[in-house]
Amino acid sequence: MSQPSRKDRTKPAEILVLSGVMAVFAGLIVLMSTREIILSLIFTGLAFIVALVIMAMLVLAVRPDGEEQIDLDEQNRPDGH
């Protein structure tokens, strides 16, 4: 079995970082408009979770390309190789 490519290994980190950036942006907007730190932290956490769930759902909705489809077919073989 071949090792996953660097792109495949870093995909989860990309999604987490992008969700974090969106959350910090939302938190800063709330902080600058209300000047309440607790409310800003709540919105930061909420925005992180919502962004993470939405991006994960979008990743799942993408159809696999040719190379990924071959890999999926190999994994689904009854002999396991």
Encode the chain (81 residues) as per-residue pLDDT tens digits: 567 777 777 788 999 999 999 999 999 999 999 999 999 999 999 999 999 999 999 988 887 788 878 877 888 887 755
Q: Which residue has the tokens 């959350």?
A: 23
Q: How far apart are CA 38 and CA 81, in angstroms?
A: 53
Residue type, 75: Q
pTM recorded for the entire structure? 0.75
Domain ranges of the chain: 13-60
What residues have CB less than 8 Å from 23, skipping those under 6 apart?
44, 45, 47, 48, 51
